[in-house]
Amino acid sequence: MVNLTLIIALPLLMAFTMPIFKMLNSKLPKFIALLTTAFNLIVLSSNFTEIMAAPLILELGGWQAPFAINLYVGPLALVAAFLINGSAFILSIYNLSQDYQFDDKFYLLFLMITAGASGMVMTGDLFNLFVFIEITSIAAYSLTTFAGGSSYEASFKYLIIGGVGSVFLLLGIGFTYSAVGSLNLAEIAASAGLINPLLLQITALLFLIGIGIEAELFPLNFWVPDIYTEAPTAVSGIMSGAVSAAGIYALARIFFTLFPAQQFFNYLLVIGVITLIMGELIAYQQENIKRMLAYSSLAQMGLIVTVISLGTEAAVKAGLFQLINHSILKVLLFISAGVLISAAGSKKIKDLAGLGTKKPTAAFGFTIAAMGILGVPFLNGFISKFMIISSSLNADQFLITFLILAAALIEIAYYLKVVQKLYFEDLEIEVKNTAVITVPVILLTLLIIGLGVYPQLIAEPLEKAAAEILNNSRYIMTVLGGI
């Protein structure tokens, strides 16, 4: 087993030494990024059994929590970290055949966003959560602009919204500190019951807004479509696959571990459903494929939040499975769409007609990912859809179930439009040379089918992660120990 701190430390180290690597060899940065993310995955895997047995607490500086900063890596954090570093790894493979201007800076930021998101899910105290969110966001602002053109505008919008979000978050942290006198998550969770209810409510709402922006909840999510559309494909992919997963993690941590109250679950449920329905309805109208994927991402985030906030064990498991699927599928969708876009030289869906035969790998990737999202049997989305419907019916939420299924229907409608365009229509166009994505498509397809046929593969981490979400006293106990 390797020290888990490296997951955050190594990308940061590599990020800031990137200009030196660039000086050594101009090809080096992309390989460094690939190796770093691969290393992170190995570190995570080597710690897998240990974390499954008991959560790992890493106390920095040798002081015991709550007096020192600590990292907390339980099953939930492990799942999230796998998603984040896995997405980053796949996208690094994609990046190998991609040429960015100022590529040292690009990979510097790319590793920073990976480290930031990993930090978000591993940190054990509130202030570091804030710091990592800032690192992630700042990296995201700048990464977006690598596409040039109108991406500056998108980035600027995100910057402003992100700034507003930080204010809320910081206020929330300040209120919490003033009430509890500590920023350690376990410490706060342990004494949350002692806080004045009104203050608690205001604080929780401040967090809801602050984190809601990262978790892409309505109506805080309108920066998302612009970012996903304008940013380079790899950035859209990492935002959708990794950063949003970290956002969901933070949301779960704050509302299930820190301030568990039915009232906030109800808020999240309503907000989640609205996000879902609006996202799907707007996605259906889009003519730009990346914008369509962006709204679809929003909707998926809404779905995940809805399901998790049902609060039963089955529901949380279903939501987490959907989160895993979302990361896998959206990364595949974004890189395939990226290739299709550069092949056709246009982001318009109607200009992609006939690329099924001209760009078979990318079209296949897009199709299988779309079918995964739509829940075709033997693909991963089928299992999570089944679990979602089952758990929401079990919680007696008929209306919610109905709305989820209605949203799924709209989803079918717009994804199939693209799939049909790809294969069964034709357009006389000159196909441009594009990135080669055979390896990521094969890897992700194997994952999609593997999880669809043998979902037991992730049953244990999912089970334990759900238990961790639902049982905050265990979290407190493990961190604080006897104190």
Partner 1 sequence: MLTKYIFVPAAAAFAAYILNKKNKKAGATITALVSAYLLLSLALIYGSWELNQSFNLSLMGYQLEFLMALTPLSWLFAVLTSAISLLIAVFSIDSQADFKFSSVFNLNFLLVIGSIMGVLFARDFLTLFIFWELMTWTSFYLISSGKKKMAGRAAYRYLILSAAAAYSFLMAVIFIFQQTGSFAFEPAAEFLLNNSAPQSILLLLAISLPFWVKAGIFPLHVWVKDAHGNAPKEFSPFLSGMLLKVGFYGLIVVFHQLSFFKIIENTIAYRGLPLLSYLFALLGAVTIITGTILAIRQEDMKKLIAYSSISQMGYIIIGIAIATPLGFSGSMLHLMNHLIFKSTIFLALAAVIYRTGTTKMYEVGGLIFRMPLTFAAYLTAIIALAGIPPTNGFISKWVIYQALIEKGYLFLALAAFFGSIASFMYVFKPLSTVFLGQLKPQHQEIKEVPLLMKIPMLILIGVIVLFGVFPGIQMNIISQISGDLGIETVNYSLYSIQGAFGAWNSLYIFNVFAAGFVIALLVFGLAKKSKLVGLLDTYSSGEYVTDAESYHYAYQYYRPFDRLFDNLAAKSLTGFYETLTANLLKSGESFRRIFAAGRVQNYALYSVLLFVILAAVGWII
Under the rule (CB under 8 A), what is the footprint of partner 1? 156-157, 160-161, 164-165, 168, 201-202, 205-206, 208-209, 212-213, 219-220, 222-223, 225-226, 263, 267, 278, 280-285, 313-314, 317, 321, 371, 375-378, 382-383, 386-387, 389-390, 393-394, 401-402, 405, 408-410, 412-413, 416-417, 420, 423-425, 455-456, 459, 462-463
For the bound state, the minimum distance from the C-beta of residue 352 to partner 1, rounded and expressed in Å, comes to 14
| Distance from C-alpha of 299 to C-alpha of 408, rounded to nearest angstrom | 10
The CA-atom distances, in angstroms, between 21 and each of 16, 90, 103, 304 are: 10, 21, 11, 40
Which of 207, 200, 180, 183 has the alpha carbon at shortest distance from 191? 180
Closer CB to partner 1, residue 132 or residue 321?
321
For residue 313, give the amino acid letter.
E
Which of 172, 286, 161, 307 has the alpha carbon at shortest distance from 229? 286
For the bound state, the minimum distance from the C-beta of residue 211 to partner 1, rounded and expressed in Å, comes to 11
Closer CB to partner 1, residue 50 or residue 260?
260
For the bound state, the minimum distance from the C-beta of residue 419 to partner 1, rounded and expressed in Å, comes to 9
For the bound state, the minimum distance from the C-beta of residue 321 to partner 1, rounded and expressed in Å, comes to 7
For the bound state, the minimum distance from the C-beta of residue 227 to partner 1, rounded and expressed in Å, comes to 12
Closer CB to partner 1, residue 70 or residue 296?
296
For the bound state, the minimum distance from the C-beta of residue 281 to partner 1, rounded and expressed in Å, comes to 3
Contact between 333 and 370 (Cβ < 8 Å): yes
H/E element, 59: strand 56-59
Closer CB to partner 1, residue 66 or residue 225?
225
Q: Which residues pair with 348 in a beta bridge?
A: 288
Closer CB to partner 1, residue 72 or residue 264?
264
User: What sign results for the dihedral spanned by CA atoms 24, 2, 95, 359?
Assistant: positive
Closer CB to partner 1, residue 6 or residue 453?
453
Q: Which residues pair with 58 in a beta bridge?
A: 71
Closer CB to partner 1, residue 174 or residue 181?
174
What residues contact residue 17 under an 8 Å CB cut-off, 6+ apart?
none
What residues contact residue 78 under an 8 Å CB cut-off, 6+ apart?
44, 47, 48, 51, 461, 465
Closer CB to partner 1, residue 31 or residue 156?
156
Alpha-helix runs per DSSP H in 345-425: 355-358, 360-374, 380-394, 398-424
Closer CB to partner 1, residue 90 or residue 451?
451
Which of 148, 162, 338, 373 has the alpha carbon at shortest distance from 234? 338
Backbone dihedral angles phi then psi of residue 164, each to the nearest 5 degrees: -60, -45
The DSSP letter of residue 482 is: T
For the bound state, the minimum distance from the C-beta of residue 146 to partner 1, rounded and expressed in Å, comes to 21
For residue 15, give the amino acid letter.
A
| Distance from C-alpha of 288 to C-alpha of 443, rounded to nearest angstrom | 27
For the bound state, the minimum distance from the C-beta of residue 100 to partner 1, rounded and expressed in Å, comes to 26
For the bound state, the minimum distance from the C-beta of residue 364 to partner 1, rounded and expressed in Å, comes to 12
